[in-house]
Structure 1
Amino acid sequence: MKVRQYIQEVYKCSQCGKEGSEHPADVFVGGKVPVSLLPHSLASASLVAGILYKKYDMGIPLARQERDWYRLGLCLYRSTMANWVIRSSEEYLLPIYERIHQELLGCGILHGDETRIQCNREPGKKASSESFMWVIRSGREEAVQAVFFHYARSRARKEAEKLYRGFQGYLVTDAYTGYDSLDGICRALCWSHVRRYYIDSIPLDSRGKEISGSKGAEGREWCDRLFQIEKNLKALPSEKRLQKRQELSRPVLEGFWAWVEEPSAKYTANESLKTALTYTTNQRKYLETFLEDGRIPISNNDCETSIRPFATGRKAWLFADSPAGARASGIVYTLVETAKLNHLDVFGYLCYLLESLPDLDHRNHPELLEAYLPWSETLPESCRLREHRINKKCMF
């Protein structure tokens, strides 16, 4: 860490303003200094970028950062840092955040999920009540690789309608009914969820080991066959993958549905197995959607993987104190996780945005934002991970 001090010198012309001068008024000339990120504050682009990086990528809450700054001899209060996070997100990062959302809505395959967040000062709600962070991730074969976090008071269907308005394509989710019958969207359900239901129905002995020969284990085996086929088809182009699914996956599905209808499975005293069978039967239509397009994955694991850093961070910072703070968290998590998908150095990218966007006239020229999106090829090298770090996959 280092302190960089800018001194602006201002000079007054000794001749201007005098009688007989070409300039009857005094003339002052000042040197150029960088635009202040947040006027009348100590916040620099690199300082705020470091705070964002520590909280949203490294999972260090502001309270711990406050203690670390105190150790270094600076009284930088968590309330001040929280204010900087909110202001920098709303004033500078929001346009990039909104563009990422727009780009995602133009994809053909999306993943969707929601996760809980506590917001202490949400109007009309108790501090201990739950709000939600809605998450969208692009499919692996989409040109745009991005993750989008959206804070909302509830998990109501109206939030899904607002979030996915304009999207025309396949949406991979769990069986939450809030996604049902959204305009222009064809749902595809996650087979990992099905597999978990059957795992939960497998009886265990007194030592916690699975009892062999159970119907739950059979259900898991059917799911494993589908996942093994997908693993073998992973390297194929989507058209060829679709053809192979018809040849290999469809017969497995037909056998699975026949197994589900067997009396020995259907009339069971195992309540967990009943739940698994009911879930499977009720969602059959959407569980078969992956047979329509080779790009559709059979699980929502990619989206859940993108949510994991948020869930890990939540264990450290516990809650958002205000709706503005929760929205700011959604903005920054969007940029952080999308930067990771595009092999960017998270701190370098955040620093570049906060250094550049204050001078950018994006309101009158929105096309200028293209150069600052996480997948832009014109981003400077300071935003990119070194090649050997990408190859080692040390960030994933």
Structure 2
Amino acid sequence: MTKQEELLMLRALVAKQKEELEQKDKTIEKQNIRIENMIQALLHARQKLFGKSTEVTEHIPGQMNLFSTTQDLAKELFHEQKKITVPAHQRKTRQPGVRAEMLASLPKDIDEYIINPEEVCSTCGGKLKVIGKRLIRTEVEFIPARLKVVQIVQQIAKCTECGTGKNDNPKDHFQKAAIPSSVLPHSIATASLVAQVMYQKFMMGIPLSRQEKEWYRLGLVLPRNNMAHWVIRCSEEWLTPIYNRIHSELMKCDCLHMDETRIQCNKEEGRKASTDSFMWVIRSGASEGITASYFHYSPSRSGKVAQNLLTEFKGYLTTDAYIAYEKVDNIKRNLCWAHVRRYMIESIPLDSRGKEIPGSKGAEGRDLIDLLFKLEDEMKDLSPEIRKEKRQVASRAILDAFWSWVENTSALTTTNEKLTKALAYAANHKNYLETFLEDGRLPISNNLCEANIKPYATARRAWLFADTPKGATANAVLYTIVESAKANDLDVYEYIHHLLRIMPDIDFNNHPEMIDAYLPWSKDLPQECRLNKRIHKEFR
């Protein structure tokens, strides 16, 4: 081999090694990007688990605004086009006398401590004369629950005329006293006992397994399978008519919220116990004449479920961007800006302490969306007509600035996968995200529905799963009753107790219109079903 050939061979080897090194550098760079994205995902997951649950943005005193130029531009546009002016909100201090008003409805006992008539002056030994009394303190004493056995005895009377030849009836006639129907015939269950079981699980989130121990402490052996049977039977026979009517009334609304969350059902036919099923939730809009929530159990999350639930609905539906809602006909979709904001927050890089690293694009997007929410808060007391008019000016200016920012930021090269996802999410759903401009009644987020799901999701951590589809359906019925009662300022226990006591004696199958008097928003409900609104408002 000549020297020239050796030189060419060495050059080729060097070029090959250089190419391999460049390829390895690219691979290492990609791996570093992946590692960084994974670290950020881990930091955000830790922040969700152990950080503050509030979604309110915290601004550090003295920190420069990340997006001052666009904010200034938006504010300038607001002023030029007569931006609404609303007084700054101030939290009201608790009014004096609230404690006295709260205690006024409770029964009172007076523990009076008197001086022994034989007692003498501790200073000189002289006689004592009572000159008055004074109130030392006011306390609230807890009286533990107790159980009692009630035996239902029916009086029977015999007619003194029938069977004696004094009238046309040749046979003796026996007449029985009228008694209320049992909530569960041939059972020790009463309306109050079943209502307490339901209240403890679906309002307080106490699983039946824990309730079993508490009933035993009170002297009653009440197995959890008995309680489950009571809940399922009573929900099917007495609460389902209320449940169905709530759904039919919601379908008459113009604005609804909808979302879905998981539930595990162990004995769903043809499915593994670990397979996720779903609880669909419908909530009336804040502008509607009725206030109600509706839970529906389904093993599926397909659009067919949403389509069946909303067959009779024709109006605006506020949801997240889940594609299943596209299968629903005759609705106008209004997407949630809180979801866009969450994607932006997830794209903000965090340091090892879980604190935001200043200067990120995700923070800029979040700040713009915060302007939109702040504007909505300022307009919350306006009428829908005026709110729509103001949105066309003020909200439009913020939206134009936001979409311009999305377009410019998307053109930049970034290794932040979360930011890319957030920008794509916003851009892909631009039309539905602007639906709220069409009607002043529409919200800009689905938070109202998510707030109704939260008690269910929290309680699910305790009871974990539904054993059967019937149990899952009973869950849907009871959460519908409980969340609708809460939304209408009802005492949940008293409301359920009232329904279980009254419904067995109502012929609602032949007279379905009678159910209207027992709906959560009905004005015909007795006073004991209602919370003290003043106290409820002060302590909320």
Band of TM-score, shorter chain: over 0.9
Preserved contact between residue 215 and residue 265 of structure 1 (Cα < 8 Å): no
Residues 321-354 of structure 1, C-alpha deviation per residue, up to 9 Å, x if partnerless?
Answer: 1000110110010011001111111011111111
For 1:218, the equivalent position in structure 2 comes to 364
Q: Which letter does structure 2 place at the counterpart of 1:353? A: L
User: 1:193 offset after TM fit, Å?
Assistant: 0.4
Aligned with 2:501 (options 350, 355, 371)? 355
Aligned with 2:537 (options 388, 391, 394)? 391
* Whole-angstrom distance in 1 between the partners of 2:298 and 2:409: 44
For 2:220, the equivalent position in structure 1 comes to 74
User: 1:304 offset after TM fit, Å?
Assistant: 0.4
The more displaced of 16-25 and 58-67 is 16-25
For 2:186, the equivalent position in structure 1 comes to 40
User: 1:7 offset after TM fit, Å?
Assistant: 1.2
* Whole-angstrom distance in 2 between the partners of 1:34 and 1:349: 18
Aligned with 1:365 (options 501, 511, 535)? 511
Q: Does 1:56 align with 2:202?
A: yes
The more displaced of 186-195 and 260-269 is 260-269
* Whole-angstrom distance in 2 between the partners of 1:19 and 1:236: 79
Aligned with 1:199 (options 345, 350, 354)? 345
User: 1:365 offset after TM fit, Å?
Assistant: 1.0
Aligned with 1:92 (options 238, 247, 250)? 238
For 1:121, the equivalent position in structure 2 comes to 267
User: 1:166 offset after TM fit, Å?
Assistant: 1.0
User: With structure 2 as the length reference, what TM-score do the two structures score?
Assistant: 0.71
Which runs of structure 2 are paired with 1:272-287 in the superposition (5 Å)?
272-287=418-433
User: 1:125 offset after TM fit, Å?
Assistant: 0.7
Preserved contact between residue 307 and residue 327 of structure 2 (Cα < 8 Å): no
Q: Does 1:245 align with 2:391?
A: yes
- Are the structure 2 counterparts of residues 264 and 62 from structure 1 closer, same or farther at C-alpha, using a change threshold of 3 Å? closer
For 2:417, the equivalent position in structure 1 comes to 271
Which runs of structure 2 are paired with 1:127-166 in the superposition (5 Å)?
127-166=273-312
The more displaced of 52-61 and 13-22 is 13-22
* Whole-angstrom distance in 1 between the partners of 2:538 and 2:207: 28
For 1:299, the equivalent position in structure 2 comes to 445
Residues 182-231 of structure 1, C-alpha deviation per residue, up to 9 Å, x if partnerless?
Answer: 21101011100000101000111222211111101111111101001101
Aligned with 2:406 (options 248, 260, 280)? 260
| Secondary structure of 1:136 counterpart | strand
Instruction: Determine what percentage of the aligned residue pairs are the same residue.
Output: 57
User: 1:263 offset after TM fit, Å?
Assistant: 5.0
User: Aligned-residue CA RMSD in angstroms?
Assistant: 1.7
User: 1:141 offset after TM fit, Å?
Assistant: 0.9
For 2:382, the equivalent position in structure 1 comes to 236
Q: Which runs of 5+ in 1 are unaligned?
A: none
Q: Which letter does structure 2 place at the counterpart of 1:355? A: R
User: 1:20 offset after TM fit, Å?
Assistant: 9.1
* Whole-angstrom distance in 2 between the partners of 1:326 and 1:389: 35
* Whole-angstrom distance in 1 between the partners of 2:183 and 2:457: 30
Q: Does 1:189 align with 2:335?
A: yes
| Secondary structure of 1:261 counterpart | helix
The more displaced of 4-13 and 328-337 is 4-13
For 2:70, the equivalent position in structure 1 comes to none
* Whole-angstrom distance in 2 between the partners of 1:370 and 1:18: 48
Preserved contact between residue 180 and residue 505 of structure 2 (Cα < 8 Å): no
Q: Does 1:376 align with 2:522?
A: yes
Preserved contact between residue 133 and residue 150 of structure 1 (Cα < 8 Å): yes
Aligned with 1:340 (options 475, 478, 486)? 486
- Are the structure 2 counterparts of residues 264 and 274 from structure 1 closer, same or farther at C-alpha, using a change threshold of 3 Å? closer
- Are the structure 2 counterparts of residues 260 and 20 from structure 1 closer, same or farther at C-alpha, using a change threshold of 3 Å? closer
* Whole-angstrom distance in 1 between the partners of 2:296 and 2:196: 23
| Secondary structure of 1:6 counterpart | coil
User: 1:162 offset after TM fit, Å?
Assistant: 0.4
Q: Does 1:325 align with 2:325?
A: no
* Whole-angstrom distance in 1 between the partners of 2:328 and 2:298: 18
User: 1:264 offset after TM fit, Å?
Assistant: 6.4
Preserved contact between residue 260 and residue 266 of structure 1 (Cα < 8 Å): no
- Are the structure 2 counterparts of residues 80 and 268 from structure 1 closer, same or farther at C-alpha, using a change threshold of 3 Å? same
Q: Which runs of 5+ in 2 are unaligned?
A: 1-145
For 1:180, the equivalent position in structure 2 comes to 326
* Whole-angstrom distance in 2 between the partners of 1:264 and 1:352: 58
Preserved contact between residue 277 and residue 299 of structure 2 (Cα < 8 Å): yes
The more displaced of 383-392 and 191-200 is 383-392
- Are the structure 2 counterparts of residues 15 and 142 from structure 1 closer, same or farther at C-alpha, using a change threshold of 3 Å? closer
User: 1:388 offset after TM fit, Å?
Assistant: 3.0
* Whole-angstrom distance in 2 between the partners of 1:22 and 1:34: 32
User: With structure 1 as the length reference, what TM-score do the two structures score?
Assistant: 0.96
For 2:250, the equivalent position in structure 1 comes to 104
* Whole-angstrom distance in 1 between the partners of 2:436 and 2:228: 43
Preserved contact between residue 516 and residue 522 of structure 2 (Cα < 8 Å): yes
Preserved contact between residue 259 and residue 265 of structure 1 (Cα < 8 Å): no
